[in-house]
Amino acid sequence: MRAAIHLALAAGLAVAAPAPDRGQPGTGYLGVAVRSPENPDAKGLQIVRVMPGGAAEAAGIREGDFIWRVEGVELEKAGQLGDKLKRYGAGECVEIELIRGNKVEKVRVKLGRRPKESEAEKNGDKPGKP
């Protein structure tokens, strides 16, 4: 493993190893369902569902909020949220900029771990939601 890290660094590649107390990249879970806004002038992704007990709920994120940026990267399409979050593991924190009403709010969210399939279905979640 060390040789691989040294080779990657020598080649100029960024290598991110998760901290020992955090989950592997791809295990971070926000617990929301989003959609692209109906208004083409609106920014961000509209939250249509916040999963009970998830990281989003714990951070105070609400249905009707718009996720505008994650770690400074603007989101325009629903698939971008999952793509961005799969870089993080459960237990890692990400900064999310929300549009709530006419205000922009920044929240730090400690990502959770995706619930087991039976728990997710009980909460109305479907596989593949961020």
| Structural domains for the chain | 22-122 (2.30.42.10)
Helix, strand, coil abundance in the chain, percent, nearest 5: 20, 30, 50
Average pLDDT, the chain: 79
Q: Which of 38, 43, 39, 29 is nearest to 127 (CA)?
A: 29
Please give the distance of CA 98 from its chain centroid, rounded to a whole number: 12
Residue 12 has pLDDT above 70, yes or no: no
Amino acid sitting at position 78? A
Higher pLDDT, 122 or 112: 112
According to DSSP, residue 95 is labeled: E
Burial category of 33 from C-beta neighbours within 10 Å (exposed 0-12, middle 13-18, buried 19 and up): buried
